[in-house]
Structure 1
Amino acid sequence: MTDIGIVGAGAAAAAATYVIDGALPDASITVFEKSGGLCGRAATRRRGDVTYDYGANYLKDDDDRVVDLVSTFDDGLVEVAGDIHVFDRSGTVSEGRDADERKWTYRTGLTRLAKHLFGATDATVHRRTRVERIARSDGAWTLTDDDGGTRGPFDVLLLNPPAPQTATLLETADWDAAARDDLLAATRDVDYRTVWTAVLGYPFELDRPYYALVNTDKEHDVGWVAREECKPGHVPDGESVLVVQANHEWSVERYDADPARNVADLADHAAALLDDERLADPAWTDHQGWRYALPESGLRRGARTPAEDAGCYVLGDWVAGEARLHAAVRNGLDTGERIVHAR
């Protein structure tokens, strides 16, 4: 039997688990997730009859393997209606990009993807379990959780947190090897954009010819505005929900500021961008800060190979170097296949 431990239950981890479980029936897979949810930054919340994806916004049909996988788990899969328009630093909106791309979520939100993938396996998922330390001894991996408990031993270890959090685990690892040092240095080199998100609910419908607006010059305080009502099953008729994501500089500066003030300022921006003063006064709000939201670079080529020879794999969109949900899923599929071929 092969014992596999996975830190983090993001989309990449879910895809890797699915591949490994299907190809190695004797594998025992245990996943440790610090939060109460699944799918990492592809996160969903519900408020009464409203469902909203407040991290990653959708899954893009940009990879045939990912499309095939999603088609296997199409229960509740819906296509987002509408194109993406653009705006510049002045807030001027114009017709935009990728008019022909397909954008998917689920009626119950993007977290359904990870629930489908993990649910199709025999993996054990421990939620609200934070791994504080990793160690390697006698060819096996052990983990220490935040209660001081020891988990393992594992023959293979997968690390799915964002690069800075993975780096912290590698920095404190009881693993004296050149492979660790090289992987740690490469992981530290991955930069991230921070995003502070406001969710704004309204008791009226918006009539706009687009699903979302994206700032292309990266010089506006807002980087993205999306209409959740364009996702079937997410917002009741007669209502609107906006997901407003601030740009990196604004988010870093205001990350620890008063959330109510942040939400109010982003609502004002939404009102100006969509040219509707009613949007400055939402009926209800929510918010979330994503300190490590969007990787701006990928893992240096070759840095992961010596670590993988020791049974330590890193995975996620930051490894792929593309801040997209489909990139995380594809990286998980690739990682799972490398593990299978190595056993």
Structure 2
Amino acid sequence: MNFLTIVFRYTARLLLSCSVFSLSSPIQATPQSKEISILFVGDMVLDDLPGKTIAQGNDPFDHFKSIFAAADIRIGNLECVIATSGRASEKNFTFRAHPRVVPILKKYFDAVSIANNHSGDFGPDAFNEMLSILEQHDLSYFGGGRNLRDAHRPHIIEKNGLRIALLGYDEFMPRSFEANTNKPGVAWSEDEQVIADIRNAKSQLRADIVIPFMHWGWENEKVANQRQRQLARKMIDAGADAVIGGHPHVIQDTETYKGKPIIYSIGNFMMDALDNEAQTLGWAVRLRINQHGVHAWDTRVAKINSEGIPHPLMKKPSPCWNKKGDSIEMCNTLQ
């Protein structure tokens, strides 16, 4: 890395920390808050068999319909670009879904993270097309944007008197398709910027709850690596109330740090052509939140069939953790 690159990145970060929040509207006082639930699901690739299911007029999310309906807020990782334009990058796997999938996504999700290593599979034109399509359908996204400021801007959801800030970051190496001051792309998880984003979400946007949704770790590893653990703890220290992760394509271990949950990888949720049995299992994680933070969480295990469609593996959620100290062993039995 040469001197000019270092200066540019430092300047971009400095400008970003000052400007991401400057366009926000005045913040109004919120009414008395009460508990809400947020459901997170993992990697969703809608370009092959799940996409064909939608093209045939069927709903690949149907088996989880009641579980989605029971949550106040629903979030997923969109592991493909949605577009008709662009040219495939020179990489082993590239994913591009047809815009027809967006109404189904809108039916089930309040927002999607686009901070992952496949958002740029078909280049900036396809990425910009996806952003426009999502905006046309009023489906919120975070973790990427048309420039650096947009990519790092938290998505704010207000529900039952609570302000929740969602942040998304990609950490897939080699570092690529990263948003810049005048270039579209995803938000990269540079430690100093992540910490600044979290602190600013709390102090400037007055978020009651901040949750980073990470794309990190090593594929097929069932235990989080040291880098994941270090960054997760930094995020909690900076003010995050929970950390949710994905990308390894398998479920990873969990941790409670300073009374706050870190769920390192929730695995896959909707995709076909899976490599092994562990990749066919994912978690639909429900966080139960009040003004004091996350006070409990549980999971529904998703079993993905050969067509890439998830089915609930258990009829009832598996209790994982609450601030009274419940065991998390039931969450780990299917790893």
Shorter-chain TM-score tier = under 0.3
TM-score, normalization: structure 1?
0.25
Greater RCO (Cα-Cα under 8 Å, separation 6 or more): 1
Structure number with larger C-alpha Rg = 1
